[in-house]
């Protein structure tokens, strides 16, 4: 496994729609392993393939299923070709940062609950129901696959005085 370089704005790949994955081969497995290692080293809670200069629809997310339980262990999600198939009408504002947009944070309104469908690293179908911060992370990472950055959705963007935890 290799820690890859995380590209930052204004890299053009961050603004392109990523290509669907059609081959679940060794090259994809290496990309996924590298993305997990890169996300953890950054440190972040999510990473999309375009952030490591690969225009493919792959995301990795590592966050507890229940963010209200302080003892909950983070769960690793790998989703290939993810799509949000359901969103709750309830939305919530939250402060987001991004590994590809260093030194800025923004207030972004996101759905409180979502359902994501896609494939796992072997190509088998997966369906994930997420709420709270986990739902926010999935929405943020899937935006990356469509060339959308959190700054595009933010009602307000600023440079924080303290470093940001839980960069996505």
Q: Which residue numbers are catalytic?
A: 141
Residue 43, preceding peptide bond in cis (omega within 30° of 0): yes
Q: Which residues is 111 bridged to in the sheet? A: 91
The pair of three-digit structure tokens given for residue 99, joined into one six-digit string: 């590994």
What torsion do the CA atoms of 119, 139, 8, 27 make, to the nearest 10 degrees? Answer: 0
Q: Which CA distances in Å does 75 have to 2, 36, 58, 62, 78? A: 21, 12, 17, 5, 10
| Cβ-Cβ contacts under 8 Å for 76 (sequence gap 6 or more) | 36, 60, 61, 62
The pair of three-digit structure tokens given for residue 160, joined into one six-digit string: 């924080």
Q: Which residues is 58 bridged to in the sheet? A: 80
């Amino acid at each position: 496994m290799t820690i890859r370089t995380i590209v930052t704005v204004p890299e053009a790949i961050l603004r392109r729609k990523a290509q669907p994955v059609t081959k679940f081969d060794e090259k994809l497995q290496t990309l996924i392993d590298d993305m997990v290692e890169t996300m953890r080293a950054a440190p972040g809670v999510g990473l999309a393939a375009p952030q490591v200069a690969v225009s493919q629809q792959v995301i990795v997310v590592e966050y507890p299923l229940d963010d209200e339980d302080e003892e909950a262990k983070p769960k690793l999600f790998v989703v290939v070709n993810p799509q949000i198939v359901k969103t709750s009408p309830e939305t919530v504002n939250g402060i987001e940062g991004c590994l590809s947009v260093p030194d800025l944070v923004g207030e972004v309104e996101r759905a409180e609950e979502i359902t994501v469908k896609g494939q796992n690293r072997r190509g088998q179908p997966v369906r994930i129901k997420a709420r709270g911060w986990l739902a926010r992370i999935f929405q943020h990472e899937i935006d990356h696959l469509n060339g959308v950055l959190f700054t595009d959705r933010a009602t307000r963007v600023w440079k924080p005085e303290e470093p940001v935890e839980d960069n996505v």
